[in-house]
Amino acid sequence: MIIDESGSSVQNLNLCSLLQFDSESSSVISSGQLWTLLQKHGSELDPHKLDVLVALAHSSADGKICYQDVLNLMCNKRSDSFRRAILQGNRRLCNKSLLEESSLDLTQRLIRHVAYETLPREIDRKWFYDNYTGCPPPWFMITVTIVEVAIFVYYGLLLDRFILQVTHPQYLKKNPLVYHPQLRVQAWRYLSYMFMHAGIEHLGVNVALQLVVGVPLEMVHGALRVGFVYVAGVLAGSLAVSVADMTAPVVGSSGGVYAIASAHLANIVMNWSGMRCQFKLLRTSFALICMSLEFGRAVWLRFSPSSHTLCPPPSFVAHLGGVVVGITLGVVILRNFGQRLTDQWLWWLFLGGSALFVAFAVLWNLFAFSLPGLRLPPPP
């Protein structure tokens, strides 16, 4: 019996059989030995896990398979060597695909739908489908959304305005969340601005995108990865504004939303032939149209004739900062399902580039705002 990390038993693939195949401690077993093991114990396995083992057996060009890869699979662990073994083989999956399975309950259909929405390879979809337990739930996206809506409603009631709330002359007054160039020394504002929105139209688009895109991504990749992309997009948005649009405040979670949305859309485009989500062209086009309309609204708000001189119009540059994060860090993080990022050289490259940008932006904020001729808006 193999025991997973939590101490519970997994499939009854006989561990003693595996150990006798590796009696010489060579760390490999032959594909013939693995086939013998599958013939004896294959009926005890989940059909999707059996598919992966069969693909692993077919993938060996020299007839040798890493013993640890088989153990990792049975203990619900994954490694880069395992992924390479599968992808470099003939990728043979003996059983039918998830889409062909019937008699699934509502929860199983939802998990299958999420798998096909976010993952381009059948072997990854089956892995996710077999191992997803719903614990923990996608709490990050849900929590962020609830907080954003609650704060918006609070200020809507306080200002008695919900449409184009940002144009209210008291919008910035004593507001502890909005990023403002005169208050840039209050470092939390580089992140906390994501909880404020320009109006209900701004909030609606952001909330819809982060729930429709962010929740399935968090179910597949976890709160840590998706949360990192989201927060990195928010931080990149405010820092990009402080560099490229120095006189403007920033509100809204568009930096984070555009980071996860652009990362997801980039993965769909790069793996177009492997994605099996329904109406993918229509849905991708719809997402791009919504993002473009929201970006256009932000540009219009920034450059439209201002009738609210006490409240300078917010910047749109945060959207661009989020997109850059999404198509760099976000693509790397969300592309490697179940794999360690520390083994990905692109992860270190983009992480190093992001660190350099943050360092540059910090120095810019320390020295560039004291340049002669720069006219900042009055403090709120």
Has 319 been annotated as catalytic? yes
Tokens found for residue 114: 């999420």
Cα separation, 37 vs 11, whole angstroms: 13
Can you tell me which residue has the tokens 């929860």?
107
Whether the CB-CB separation of 326 and 261 falls below 8 Å is answered with: yes
Q: What is the H or E stretch that residue 29 is in?
A: strand 28-30
Q: C-alpha 12: how far from its chain's center?
A: 34
Instruction: Please give the biggest Cα pair distance in the chain.
Output: 81
Backbone φ and ψ of 332, nearest 5°: -65, -45
Cα separation, 181 vs 248, whole angstroms: 7
State the catalytic residue, choosing from 59, 60, 319, 354: 319
Whether the CB-CB separation of 251 and 166 falls below 8 Å is answered with: yes
- Nearest CA to 29 out of 10, 46, 13, 47 is that of 13
State the catalytic residue, choosing from 60, 254, 262, 315: 254
Tokens found for residue 132: 């997803």
Cα separation, 229 vs 242, whole angstroms: 20
Can you tell me which residue has the tokens 């739908």?
113
Has 254 been annotated as catalytic? yes
Q: Is the dihedral of CA 295, 296, 297, 299 positive or negative?
A: positive
- Nearest CA to 66 out of 99, 101, 100, 33 is that of 33
Q: How would you write 30-57 as a 3-class SS string? A: EHHHHHHHHHHHHHHCCHHHHHHHHHHH
Residues that are catalytic? 254, 319
